[in-house]
Structure formats: C-alpha cells, structure tokens
Amino acid sequence: MKRTERIIALTEILLSHPNELLTLGFFAERFQTAKSTISEDLAAIKESLCIARKGYLETIPGAAGGIKYTPEIGREEAQKFLDSLAQTLSASDRILPGGFLYMADILYDPHISKKLGLLFASIFRKRNPEAVVTIETKGIPLALMTADALGVPAVVVGHGNKVTEGSSVSINYISGSSERIQTMSLTRKALRTGKRVLVIDDFIKAGGTAKGIMSLMQEFDAQVVGLGILMEDAVWHTSRLVNDYHALLQLEIDTATGNTSVRANRL
C-alpha cells in the first residue's frame, strides 16, 4: 500500500470515529506497517486538520495510549454560519402565534443541526459532559448532534407521565410564559445517577422548561455542567427563571408591528 492511500484511509478512519481512542497497534495491524510509520502519518494528519481548523488529534502516551480525534468548528466559521442562520430565520412568514418562531425545518435539516451540534460541543467540551439531556420534541436533533460531536449519549425527557418504559421519575413544573402546570418524566433506565450532564434545548422564553429539567436532573443526582439554547426570546431577558445559559441566537418581536428580528449572539 502506498503512503498516499494509507494516509487517505487513516484520515477516513479518524474522522469517522470521533472521540474514540484508537491504538497505534490497531493501525499498524490494519495497514501492515510499522508503528513508527503510522506515527509519521498521524503527525501529518494532525497538522493538516489543525491548519484547516477542523479539530485536533490528541496523542495519549503509554501502554493504554493511542490517538483520538476531537471534532471542532473554528470561531470564524461558526460566527459566519450563525449570522447566515439568523438571516434565514428573520423571514417574516416564520412568526407563529404565541411569540414562537417556526424553526422545525432548520432543526430537522441534518446539515444545519450537525453544525449546531458541533458548535455546542466546541463550547461545552471542556466541562466534560457525560450525557446530553433534552426534552422532546424539537430539542432532539440538536441534542443528538451535540452528543455525536462530544462522543456521549443523548437522553430525552418526555412530556407528561408516560409509563410505557418502566420505572420513571416525574416532576411538575410551571411553564413560565403560559403559567400552566405541566409534567415531564424520565425513565430510570435512561440515565445512571451521578452523571455530568449538558442540557440542550431549541428555545427559551421564561425558562420554566429549563428549570424543570434542572429539577428533574437533581432526582438523578446529576450535575448540570451547562445549558445550551439555540434561540432566546429577548422579551423575557430580565425576568428569566434560569440565567446561567449560553444562547446562540436572539429573537426580538416588535409586538406593535409584528416585525421579527433574529440576531446571532457573539461567540
């Protein structure tokens, strides 16, 4: 096998196994070549990915060591992406009754949610979350893609009190904007106790849902290490039930004219 072919195959394996520790021995056997040769190849890949700002290759030394690819998005690329997304979402026909914005097409476009997931992962990776928690339904694509970029599982809290999945924990919470009492629940099986969790959701108004998830996480002895939100509603800015969160976009609706404006927050 020629060096070029091997480098291409190596690059493909690394990129398609993000966050996984792969040993030099694994590569040496796969490509029937010396570990020192693999090391040289990996150094070239590391440099090239670094220059392109596409994440980094980390070398873990020792007997249990190996190489791990961590995907990242560069700040400049991310900001450009958010600016363009804000523009798309500012279209006047997106406004829905109740001060919500139609975003389902954006969320369920894997091309977009994948980039948003990578962005959330880049922001929160240093806090070492062990799971990404969201509430059904529209938070799911963001949570799944964030979990993918972090290399951890996603956990989906349900609305209401379903009992089809065995023993579960339910809590009541007050939706801050509608002031109604609602229920959310999570199967015991879905999350082992004592984990570090990152909470991801698509929208925050008064923050009642986010606060509900925090309470539910307490029941699982989980430590919430971050709260990432795609869109915050500017109206509730001063009276929110949770304040320690990171929102990517901000929605402002002029109630008199009905005009909508979406801005990308600075990263």
Q: Kindly state the number of chain residues that form the binding site for a copy of itself, as judged by CB under 8 A.
A: 51
Q: Is 144 exposed, middle or buried (0-12, 13-18, 19+ CB in 10 A)?
A: buried
Distance, CA of 107 to CA of 198 (rounded, Å): 18
Q: Are strands 66-70 and 131-135 parallel, antiparallel or unpaired?
A: unpaired
Is residue 76 a contact point for a copy of itself (CB under 8 A)?
A: no
Is residue 151 a contact point for a copy of itself (CB under 8 A)?
A: yes
79, containing H or E segment: helix 75-89
- CA–CA–CA angle 115, 261, 234 (5° rounding): 85
Is residue 193 a contact point for a copy of itself (CB under 8 A)?
A: no
Both tokens assigned to 110: 């894997």
Interaction pattern, residues 194-223, with a copy of itself; x per rule: CB under 8 A: ------------------------------
Applying CB under 8 A, the span of 21-29, 59-67, 94-102, 216-224 interacting with a copy of itself comes to: 94-102
115 neighbors 81 (Cβ within 8 angstroms): yes
Task: Name the minimum Å distance from CB 243 to a copy of itself.
Answer: 26
Catalog residues that contact a copy of itself under the rule CB under 8 A. 3-5, 7-9, 11-12, 15-16, 44-45, 47-49, 51-52, 54, 96-98, 100, 102, 104-105, 108-111, 113-114, 136-137, 140-141, 144-145, 147-148, 151, 153-156, 158, 164-166, 187, 189-190
